[in-house]
A = this chain, B = another copy of it.
Amino acid sequence: MKEHYQKLVEQQSRLNRLNHLKEIAFWDQATHMSEKGIKSRADAVAELSQIIYEIECNENIKIDLKKAQKEHLSDIEQANIQEIERKFKKKSFIPKDLIKKKQVATSICEHEWRKQKPSNDWKGFLSNFKEVVHISRVKADILSQKLGISPYEALMDDYEPNLKEDTVNRCFEDIKKWLPTLLNDVMKKQKTITGLVELTGPFESSAQKNLNLEIMDLLGFDFQAGRLDESAHPFCGGNPQDVRITTRFNQKEFLSSLMGTIHETGHARYEQNLPYNLLEQPVGQARSMSIHESQSLFFEKHIGCSAQFIKRIYPLIKKHLGSSPSLALNNLQNLNLRVKPSFIRVDADEITYPAHIIIRYEIEKELINTKLEISELPELWNTKMDNILGISPKDDFKNGILQDVHWPEGLFGYFPCYTLGALYAAQWAAMIKQTVRDYDEVIEHGDLTKIFNWLDINIWKKASILQTDALTKSACKGESLNPKYFKNYLEQKFLN
């Protein structure tokens, strides 16, 4: 008899079902919803969120958790209990009114930011942002005390459970050591490549979409369990049996939509291949944001952007987009390898991207842990940009501290996952190459399932059965996360 465990399972299934509807409402809002539908949609989702919150914080869970731990549970069931407990604790430690306050503060701050960013209004932004920071600090401090971790770790935990600052520091300090030199070397090498032709288009959206759909198919996306649509900001949503990925089209060039679609396809394949029998339970869900990002980045950077893959899909590119000098194979391969320091994170290349993340990590860590004055942020931003990338936006806040949606939305602790994801992706790639010896040939014209099988066995089917470090060790012959793989990969890709 596992009476109490079963009660928890049923409660998690309920949450999963209600979250399914929230996911669809979110997808619909981003892709199809009518302008005038915004108010009633917001009200509807808030109503459902309230119901979800009440189920999540039901005091009976505490009792069932306690009693379930004495029941005879399998390893997977125990892992499930661990996930349920982790989530329940964090939910129940936070006072209800703080959650509401945070919703209000971030909603105002984000809404105003949409206007303040284009008008470069840092002062205006500050007036709302200070409340967002204050509430985030209160939340972080409460969880820090209760969980015995640093305040910033308490926030990172929402996206990457159990992630320690030490781990991030170790990786990011390592990167900081070699990144400027590598960047310099790559930029020097680039100067030797001449005759690059910019893409100009026009590339019809429908042609780009058809190309993307064929590439998704090639990459194993299951169209019986998902679809591709358009939205202003690309995302992967829905649920594992019906994954909704989106892209956007730029008539002038097709690579950002194509590579973006490949990125989301990585997220999608993870979701579509989670263990079927555990889908409604926390243990059956994706491990973390870093691991999720490692899948999308593996697909985008290690498959999609590679010279071999571009060669492979070149006939499809010609079929859908025709021919022109800018569409020459060699030109496309080189366009994908361009590197240059710039102000905007989302436009950054693979080498400078970690620099953007490290800056944000260092700043938000201080903001939460040592209560850094928020008025000091722009100066800190400029100094750090200058130190690591050699450029600084100065008072051009919209190209500096005001560029990302994360801070107005109070998403502190999220940023590190992007670069941890890149590190993991490189580490998986190194492991895969030990199994799939003819890796480059496989990418160019072989059976890609050889590569996907490794991911399926080592990542996808593991879901949340193991904690992130245990998952890494199990996939990497006992080795934890190691940034050397990322360095080796970049050198190989950009300096060879």
Binding site for B on A (CB under 8 A): 13-14, 17-18, 20-21, 24-25, 28, 32-37, 39-41, 43-48, 51, 222-227, 229, 238-243, 279
Contact B35 A224 (CB under 8 A): yes
Residue of B nearest to A48 (CB): B21
Q: Give the Cβ gap from A187 to chain B, nearest Cβ, in Å.
A: 45
Pick the contact of A279 from B32, B40, B48 — CB < 8 Å? Answer: B40
Q: Is the CB of A227 within 8 A of B34?
A: yes
Known: A241-B37, A242-B34, A242-B40. A14 touches B47 (CB 8 A): yes
Which 7 A-B residue pairings sit nearest by Cβ, starting from the closest? A37-B242, A17-B47, A20-B44, A36-B225, A17-B44, A34-B242, A35-B224
Q: How distant is A38 from chain B, measured CB to nearest CB, in Å?
A: 8
Minimum C-beta distance from A286 to chain B (A): 16
Q: How far is the CB of A48 from chain B (nearest CB, A)?
A: 6
Task: Tell me whether B44 and A241 are in contact (CB under 8 A).
Answer: no
Q: Is the CB of B226 within 8 A of A34?
A: yes
A36, chain B: closest CB distance, angstroms: 4
Taking A18-B47, A24-B25 as given, write out 5 further A-B residue pairs in contact, using a Cβ cutoff of 8 Å, ordered by the A residue number: A14-B47, A17-B44, A18-B48, A21-B21, A24-B24
Give min CB distance, A9 to chain B, whole Å. 14
Q: Which residues of B contact A47 (CB under 8 A)?
A: 14, 17-18
Q: Distance in Å from the Cβ of A213 to the closest Cβ of chain B?
A: 14
Helix, strand, loop or mixed for chain A's interface?
Answer: helix
Q: 7 A-B contacts, Cβ less than 8 Å apart?
A: A21-B45, A34-B225, A36-B222, A36-B224, A36-B241, A37-B241, A48-B48
A41 to B24, CA, bound (A): 10
Complex Cα–Cα for A17 and B50 (A)? 12
Q: A28-B28, A241-B39 are in contact. Are A21 and B34 (CB under 8 A)?
A: no
Determine which of B14, B43, B242 lies in contact with A41 in the assembled complex, contact meaning CB atoms within 8 Å.
B242
Q: Are B227 and A40 in contact (CB under 8 A)?
A: no
Q: Which B residues are CB-close (under 8 A) to A18?
A: 44, 47-48
Please give, as numbers and ranges, the residues of chain B lying within 8 Å of A279 by CB-CB distance. Answer: 40
> How many whole Å from A95's CB to the nearest CB in chain B?
23
In the bound complex, CA of A223 to CA of B25 (Å): 19
> Inside 8 A of A17's CB, which chain B residues have their CB?
40, 43-44, 46-48
Identify the closest chain B residue to A18 (Cβ). Answer: B47
Shortest Cβ distance from A56 into chain B, in angstroms? 14
CA distance A229 to B34 in the complex (A): 13
The reply to whether A32 and B227 form a contact with Cβ atoms under 8 Å apart is yes
Min CB–CB distance A20 → chain B (angstroms)? 4
A42 to B89: give the CA distance in the assembly, Å: 30
Alpha-carbon gap, A18 to B22, bound state (A): 11
State in angstroms the CA–CA spacing of A437 and B489 once bound together. Answer: 79
B40 and A20: CB pair below 8 A? yes
Report whether A241 and B34 are in contact in the complex, using a CB–CB cutoff of 8 Å.
Answer: yes
Chain B min CB distance to A340 (Å):
40
Contact A35/B227 with A44-B20, A51-B51 known, Cβ cut-off 8 Å: no
List the B side residues contacting A223 at CB < 8 Å. Answer: 34
A21 proximity list for chain B (CB < 8 A):
21, 25, 44-45, 48
Q: How far is the CA of A34 from the CA of B223 in the complex (A)?
A: 7
The residues of B that contact A224 with a CB separation of less than 8 Å are 34-36
Partner of A28, one of B13, B24, B51, B222: B24
Chain B residues closer than 8 Å to A43, beta-carbon distance:
13, 17, 20
Q: How far is the CA of A48 from the CA of B19 in the complex (A)?
A: 10
Query: A196 CA to B316 CA in the complex, in Å?
Result: 47
A13 to B44, CA, bound (A): 9
Measured CB to CB, the nearest residue on chain B to A242 is B37
- Which B residue sits closest to A37, measured CB to CB? B242
CB of A163 to closest CB in B, whole Å: 30
A42 to B: closest C-beta gap in Å: 10
Bound complex: CA A483 to CA B359 (Å): 76
- Cα separation A182 to B143 with both chains bound (whole Å): 79
| Nearest CB of chain B from residue A34's CB, rounded to whole Å | 4
Q: Which residues of B contact A229 (CB under 8 A)?
A: 32
Q: For residue A44, which residues in chain B have a CB less than 8 angstroms away from its CB?
A: 17-18, 20-21
Chain B residues with Cβ under 8 A from A40's Cβ? 17, 20, 239-242, 279
